[in-house]
């Protein structure tokens, strides 16, 4: 079969051999994510036609105004995973605490926990800008058959079994890795099927795009300011292009395809930055590294940071390896 006609379902089955210890659970988990993402994609495409835009009327644990689509996407992913009894626990950016999933006997023998940002950039829906879902999968460390504990979720990024994102834009794409490279699948809406469209995705070692919210420039540490100035004034070639969408998945996705660096540094008012380690930085760092790039907090490799709380924030700089190396030389 030609590679362009490989579906996500066929690809998942084919890649099961990468996991000699697998019992098919991870494959079923990925299939559940596939289903939930198609439901969310359909609702995103209806924005403006149905009452799904705007604020929901409550705040999440981070004190951020929840959007209606945040709540919808969160419910869809959680219910899809619970109904199929695939994971033993879920943690979401939209929930105060993790969710323990138990069977009728109060136990759960499943291997995996899932962490997610169900709809990153949802405030951009009203202006028709791409948004996304980010997910991260770990093997539980608590005893099988017992309820999950917080320790199952507070694992370093290097322990991730799988990570990925779905981008809802001009087309819907699902990009994921299980530690053996990165592959992207595009949804054919006429068939309701994801097809392999971007096999073995790689990010170039060099790039010419830098992505940062320069509105915070005066609050950046001096090294970040100096690097931004370098990007604008590098005399060895024409200045880099500044491209910042404000939707994390869209910015990172573009830089993977085009080459570039994404930066969300700490500021004087928010020294730990804005992005969450477990729901955003770890899964995207795994994808970036698997694609040949680099991800750092400025002082430490993202995937080696020891989490201390579910909603922990960290600065992040990720993308083309040489660009991140250059940034680090300024810090």
Give the model confidence (pLDDT) of 169-223 as tens digits: 989 999 999 999 999 999 999 999 999 999 999 999 999 999 999 999 999 999 9
Look at phi and psi of residue 71 and say left if phi exceeds 0, alpha if psi is from -120 to 50, else beta.
Answer: alpha
Q: Judge whether residue 74 has pLDDT over 50.
A: yes
Q: pLDDT band for position 307 (50/70/90)?
A: very high
Q: Does 320 appear as a known binding residue?
A: no
Angle between helices 68-83 and 25-45 in degrees, nearest 10: 150
How far apart are alpha carbons 268 and 225 in whole angstroms?
Answer: 13
Look at phi and psi of residue 246 and say left if phi exceeds 0, alpha if psi is from -120 to 50, else beta.
Answer: left
Q: Does 309 appear as a known binding residue?
A: no
Kindly give, in sequence order, each residue whose CB lies less than 8 Å from that of residue 123, ignoring residues fewer than 6 positions away. 65, 67
Q: Does 280 appear as a known binding residue?
A: yes
The partner residues of 183 in beta bridges, in order of sequence, read 176
Q: Does 120 appear as a known binding residue?
A: yes
Where along the chain do the CATH 3.40.190.80 domains lie? 209-330
CATH number of the 209-330 domain: 3.40.190.80
Q: pLDDT band for position 305 (50/70/90)?
A: very high
Residue 122 · residue 69 · CB < 8 Å: yes
How far apart are alpha carbons 175 and 179 in whole angstroms?
Answer: 13
Q: Does 237 appear as a known binding residue?
A: no
Q: Does 244 appear as a known binding residue?
A: yes
Where along the chain do the CATH 3.30.540.10 domains lie? 3-198
How far apart are alpha carbons 52 and 64 in whole angstroms?
Answer: 18
Mean pLDDT over the full length of the chain: 89
Kindly give, in sequence order, each residue whose CB lies less than 8 Å from that of residue 185, ignoring residues fewer than 6 positions away. 7, 8, 11, 173, 174, 175, 194, 195, 196, 197, 198
pLDDT digits (tens, 9 = 90+) for 243-274: 999 999 999 999 999 999 999 999 999 999 99
Kindly give, in sequence order, each residue whose CB lies less than 8 Å from that of residue 313, ignoring residues fewer than 6 positions away. 270, 272, 273, 274, 275, 276, 277
pLDDT digits (tens, 9 = 90+) for 13-60: 887 765 555 567 888 999 999 999 999 999 888 765 444 454 544 555
Q: Does 264 appear as a known binding residue?
A: no
Q: Does 128 appear as a known binding residue?
A: no
Q: Which fold has domain 3-198?
A: Fructose-1,6-Bisphosphatase; Chain A, domain 1 (3.30.540)
Question: Cβ-count burial of 168 within 10 angstroms (0-12 exposed, 13-18 middle, 19+ buried)?
Answer: buried
Q: Does 75 appear as a known binding residue?
A: no
How far apart are alpha carbons 72 and 79 in whole angstroms?
Answer: 11
Structural Rg of the chain based on CA atoms: 19
Q: Does 85 appear as a known binding residue?
A: no
Q: Does 304 appear as a known binding residue?
A: no
């Amino acid at each position: 079969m030609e590679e362009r006609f490989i579906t996500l379902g066929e690809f998942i089955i084919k890649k099961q051999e990468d996991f000699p210890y697998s019992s098919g659970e991870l494959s079923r988990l990925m299939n559940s994510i596939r289903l939930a993402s198609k439901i969310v994609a359909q609702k995103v495409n209806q924005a403006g036609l149905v009452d799904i835009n705007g604020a929901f009327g409550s705040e999440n644990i981070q004190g951020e105004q929840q959007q209606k689509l945040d709540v919808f996407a969160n419910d869809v992913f959680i219910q899809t995973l619970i109904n199929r009894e695939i994971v033993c626990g879920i943690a979401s950016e939209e929930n105060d605490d993790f969710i323990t999933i138990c069977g009728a006997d109060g136990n759960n023998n499943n291997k995996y926990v899932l962490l997610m940002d169900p709809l990153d950039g949802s405030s951009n829906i009203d202006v028709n800008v791409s948004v996304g879902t980010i997910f991260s999968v770990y093997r539980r460390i608590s005893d099988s058959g017992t309820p999950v504990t917080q320790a199952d979720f507070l694992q370093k990024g290097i322990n991730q079994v799988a990570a990925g994102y779905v981008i809802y834009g001009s087309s819907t794409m699902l990009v994921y890795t299980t530690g053996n490279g990165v592959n992207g699948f595009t949804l054919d809406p006429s068939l309701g099927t994801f097809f392999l469209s971007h096999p073995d995705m790689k990010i170039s070692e060099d790039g010419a795009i830098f992505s940062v919210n320069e509105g915070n420039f005066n609050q950046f540490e001096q090294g970040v300011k100096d690097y931004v100035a370098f990007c604008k004034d590098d005399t060895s070639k024409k200045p880099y292009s500044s491209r910042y969408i404000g939707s994390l998945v869209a910015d990172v996705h573009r830089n993977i395809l085009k080459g570039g660096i994404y930066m969300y540094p700490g500021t004087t008012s928010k020294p730990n930055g804005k992005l969450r380690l477990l729901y955003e930085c770890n899964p995207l760092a795994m994808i970036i590294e698997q694609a040949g790039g680099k991800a750092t907090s400025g002082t430490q490799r993202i995937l080696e940071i020891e989490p201390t709380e579910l909603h922990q924030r960290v600065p992040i700089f990720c993308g083309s390896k040489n660009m991140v190396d250059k940034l680090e030389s300024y810090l």
